[in-house]
Amino acid sequence: GCAAQNLPVTKEVVDKLTAFVKLLSKWNRVYNLTSVRLPDDMVNRHIQDSLIVLPWITGPDLLDIGSGAGLPGLPLAMVKPELSVTCLDANAKKTRFIQQVVSELDLQNVQVEHQRAEKYQPESPFHQVISRAFSSLQQMQKSAGHLCLLNGEMLAMKGMKPTEELSVLRTMGYIPQVLGLQIPGLDVERHLIKWTPSGATNTA
């Protein structure tokens, strides 16, 4: 999968990604972390899907809101160890899983926070805030816009192009950029929506 995306990863990184899939498969049988059951499908639909946005991850820090099973935060942190990643989720069983992965795989560039995005108050805002199927674009901005630097980037990973959501975001004064993505070997629509918090003329 990494080769198909032309990602220059080491064997150590591939081993960590593999170990992550094994842990996800094991925990998923008890905690129902994802509807994807088979490890091979997890590689395509979770790992490759997470890593497809890597060219747009500039850091130096990234907040993954509604991280769930650590997606896309954990795969991005494994492939880009110089990136500081914070995985945020309000579901305790999911943050416990993420913490277990961090501990077992010794991911020193990952922090885990059990909190709702609306109530999370970090010491300083992040350069990039990302979500994968978190909510609507407008809700993401309202819930987590305060967590991003004004000149930073909000990044929303979507399936089909969210035309109606884009229109609403524009009426709020933001200027979204839409990028079509293709996951090798997976015949599905994927889009990355980017906008800058300082692009707002109002936040109503």
pTM, to two decimals: 0.93
Going from the C-alpha of 75 to that of each of 9, 119, 195, the distances in angstroms are 12, 26, 23
What pLDDT digit, counting tens, does each position of 120-169 carry? 999 999 999 999 978 899 999 999 999 999 999 999 999 999 999 999 99
- State yes or no: pLDDT of 45 exceeds 90: no
Whether the Cβ atoms of residue 104 and residue 15 lie closer than 8 Å to each other: no
Residue 203: what pLDDT?
39
Say how far apart CA 127 and CA 105 lie, in whole Å. Answer: 25
- State yes or no: pLDDT of 5 exceeds 80: no
* Strand pairing category for 126-132 and 110-114: unpaired
- The rounded mean pLDDT for the chain is 90
Task: Return the minimum-mean-pLDDT range out of 8-22, 24-38, 119-133, 158-172.
Answer: 24-38
| Burial bucket for residue 13 (CB in 10 Å: 0-12, 13-18, 19+) | middle
> Given the structure tokens 């080491």, which residue do they identify?
10
Say how far apart CA 7 and CA 93 lie, in whole Å. Answer: 31
